[in-house]
Structure 1
Amino acid sequence: MRFFELIPVVYRLIAGRMLLASVFGAAFALAWHLQAWRYTARLEHQAAVQMDALNQHSQAALRRQQAEQEKRLVLERQLSASDQQHARELSDAQRDQGRLRDRLATADVRLSVLLDAAAPASGCALRATAPSGSVVHGTQRAGLDPAHAQRIIGITDSGDNGLIALRACQAYVRAIAR
């Protein structure tokens, strides 16, 4: 008699089923680990691809940001130069206006207006010849009171300042429009 035949049939069936279950369990565990390795490798590959894409996007964003910063710096330099030019023009105009006011105050220069020689109320006749050093015939002029001259200079000062500011604004708009 053999040893295997001495074991009752029920225990043999249980042992066979246990052996079959352990073989299937080992195959299942091996397949599980193989699938886990494959899945992990796929996830690592996807993570690497995504990391490369994010790196490229961040590089592109950095380049765009640097380009915008360069544009901003160029614009700031242009605006600074424009502002300096505007300040220089304004100070030159104010200095010239101050000199003119000083010359008017010291009676070094007098403002005058041309009189209309043909007007009947003026009573001035046209001269036949031009005075020496002049090519204009009959230039009759009337001097202005220094107080009125100062007011006129004040008005022209405001106008000059306005024109200088207008030119600066137009230059600023042109710089931004570019």
Structure 2
Amino acid sequence: MKLDAVKWGGSLLLTLGLMAGSAWAAWEWQANAHGLRLAIKETAHLTERTNLGNANSEQIMAEQGKRLALEQWLAASDQSHYRALTDEKTKQARLRDRLATADLRLSVLLDATGAIRKSSRQVSLRLSADSASAKDICFIMAQAFSSWSRRIAPVFSEFI
């Protein structure tokens, strides 16, 4: 009986060992297969994310290009505006200098076209720029206008 117990014990031990070995082999095989599937999915996910990142990078680069073009256009526009402003200031300074040195005569024409009298009156005032200041010019123009208004006032009073 002892021999039978040892035979049964040995066969039981051998069966348990084979079962444990096959369970371990199945476990390893499934882990490798599952790991392979996970690696494939991870690679696909990584590829998808890389493509998405590249697309976003291209979009950002395109927007930066548009922004750079807009900044350059604004700078050119600002530069041309500044150049035009500077040119006008230069023209104004040149004209002021010409007036100050009497290279140019100041001419003021008052046109008193009378629709009532059917005749036109013109008062021409020519002054040398160095001899007349703006105050003098305004004073002379006011005198010319007052004398003109005194001459035209009786005509208007006929219609009132």
Global fold match (TM > 0.5):
yes
Please report the RMSD computed on the Cα atoms of aligned residues, expressed in angstroms. Answer: 2.6
Shift of 1:56: 0.6
CA distance in 1, matches of 2:26, 2:50: 36
Gaps of 5+ in 2: 137-160
Shift of 1:116: 5.4
Match of 1:41 in 2: 36
Structure 2 counterparts to residues 127-142 of structure 1, below 5 A: 138-142=121-125
**TM-aligned CA distance change 1:11 to 1:96, over 3 Å:** same
What is the one-letter code of the residue matched to 1:39? H
**TM-aligned CA distance change 1:78 to 1:105, over 3 Å:** same
Match of 2:90 in 1: 95
TM-score by structure 2 length?
A: 0.69
1:146 to 127, 133, 157: 133
1:81-110: per-residue Cα shift (whole Å, max 9, x none)?
Answer: 101211210111011100111112112334
Gaps of 5+ in 1: 1-5, 120-125, 129-136, 150-178
Query: Higher relative CO (CA 8 A, sep ≥ 6), structure 1 or 2?
Result: 1
Is the Cα–Cα contact under 8 Å of residues 105 and 146 in structure 1 kept in the other structure?
Answer: no
Matched, 1:65 2:60: yes
Is the Cα–Cα contact under 8 Å of residues 110 and 146 in structure 1 kept in the other structure?
Answer: no
Structure having the larger proportion of residues in strand: 2
Is the Cα–Cα contact under 8 Å of residues 109 and 124 in structure 2 kept in the other structure?
Answer: yes
Match of 2:143 in 1: none
Instruction: Report % sequence identity.
Output: 36
Is the Cα–Cα contact under 8 Å of residues 114 and 139 in structure 1 kept in the other structure?
Answer: yes
CA distance in 2, matches of 1:72, 1:109: 49
Shift of 1:37: 0.9
CA distance in 2, matches of 1:92, 1:148: 28
Partner secondary structure for residue 109 of structure 1: coil
Shift of 1:148: 4.5
